[in-house]
Amino acid sequence: MLTVAACHGGPVVDLSTKPAQADGTISGTVRGPEGTSAIEGRNVEVINVETGERQRATTNNAGGFTFKVKPGNYRVELTLLDGEMLVKKPDVIHVNRSDVDAHADFVLTAAKVSRPRNRTPRADDGLGSAIARLRSQDLLRAPHDPFRT
């Protein structure tokens, strides 16, 4: 530490290096249904809520990811593929100096597609059977044959 002092009451200057602000760590995993299978190669992004600063990472073979971040509030997002939905995702994470938050976990599942059911035709809709209706339509369309009984 170097301190300079002047006899005439001048300023004191401290030229020593300051300790670097310690970064915090956000880590977690991406897992498949039931939280059992690790998912490798997925894109995860951490976003500083106050500044909008973003960092991106790809999950490793154990489905894990890690970010070094400055103190602040962070949102962690996962890029979903077609047909996927989240069962579990982390809330906004508050990181202080030297914090380690190892609970930014995601659990995925396949999206359930609901399709409207088609109404099944009734055998009798009050107008008689479908066969009888078709037969009567054929008779109405048939040319008149006076010899037909």
Q: Is residue 126 part of a domain?
A: no
pLDDT-derived band of residue 2, with 50, 70 and 90 as boundaries? Answer: very low
Residue 68's domain comprises 9-110
Residue type, 129: S
**pLDDT value of residue 25:** 92
- More confident call, 99 vs 15: 99
Q: Tokens 């970010």, residue? A: 67
- More confident call, 63 vs 102: 63
pLDDT-derived band of residue 74, with 50, 70 and 90 as boundaries? Answer: very high
**pLDDT value of residue 1:** 46
Q: What is the pLDDT of residues 102-116, one digit of tens each?
A: 788 999 888 765 555
Is residue 25 within 8 Å of residue 67, measured between CB atoms? yes
**pLDDT value of residue 115:** 58
How large is the average pLDDT for residues 10-36?
73
Q: Which CATH number characterizes residue 47's domain?
A: 2.60.40.10
Contacts of 1 (CB under 8 A, 6+ apart): 14, 15, 16
pTM, to two decimals = 0.60
Q: In this model, does residue 130 exceed pLDDT 70?
A: no
Query: Which residue, among 20, 19, 22, has the nearest Cα to 71 in the 3D structure?
Result: 22
**pLDDT value of residue 132:** 61
Q: Is residue 117 part of a domain?
A: no
**pLDDT value of residue 113:** 59
- Of 20-29, 74-83, 106-115, 130-139, the poorest mean pLDDT is in 130-139
Q: Is residue 43 part of a domain?
A: yes
Query: Which residue, among 27, 39, 26, 25, has the nearest Cα to 86 in the 3D structure?
Result: 39
How large is the average pLDDT for residues 5-28?
64
Domains in the chain, number? 1
What is the rounded distance in angstroms from the CA atom of residue 42 to the CA atom of residue 79? 7
Q: Is residue 51 part of a domain?
A: yes
